[in-house]
Amino acid sequence: MYALPDLPYSYNALEPFIDEQTMHVHHDGHHATYVKNLNDVLSGHNELLNIDTKELLKSLDKVPEEIRTKVKNNAGGHFHHSFFWRIIKPNGGGEPKGRLLELISKNFKDFNSFKEKFKDSALSLFGSGWTWLIVNPDGKLEILNLPNQDSPISVDKTPVFTIDLWEHAYYLKYKNKRADFIDAFWNIVNWEQAEKNLNS
Ligand code: MN
Residue 50: pLDDT band (50, 70, 90) is confident
Taking the complete model, does pTM exceed 0.75, yes or no? yes
Measuring CA to CA, which residue among 102, 168, 175 is closest to residue 130? 168
Q: DSSP assignment of 49-102, as one string?
A: HTS-HHHHHHTGGGS-HHHHHHHHHHHHHHHHHHHHHHHB-TT--S---HHHHH
Interhelix angle 191-199/98-108, rounded to 10 degrees, is: 80
Residue 197: pLDDT band (50, 70, 90) is very high
Residue 178: pLDDT band (50, 70, 90) is very high
Ligand 1 centre distance from Cα of residue 26 (Å): 6
* Contact residues for 45 (Cβ-Cβ < 8 A; gap 6+): 63, 64, 67
Ligand 1 centre distance from Cα of residue 29 (Å): 10
Ligand 1 centre distance from Cα of residue 61 (Å): 25
Residue 200: pLDDT band (50, 70, 90) is confident
Helix (H, G, I), strand (E, B) or coil at 146: strand
Share of the chain above pLDDT 90, in %: 97
Taken in order of first residue, the domains within the chain and their CATH numbers are: 20-87 (1.10.287.990), 98-199 (3.55.40.20)
Helix (H, G, I), strand (E, B) or coil at 158: strand
**Higher-pLDDT residue of 179, 49:** 179
Kindly tell me if the per-residue pLDDT of 4 is higher than 90: yes
Average pLDDT over residues 44-60: 93
Ligand 1 centre distance from Cα of residue 170 (Å): 9
Ligand 1 centre distance from Cα of residue 30 (Å): 6
Check: CB of residue 131 under 8 Å from CB of residue 162.
yes
Q: Show the beta-strand stretches assigned E in the chain.
A: 129-135, 141-147, 158-164
Single-letter amino acid, residue 155: V
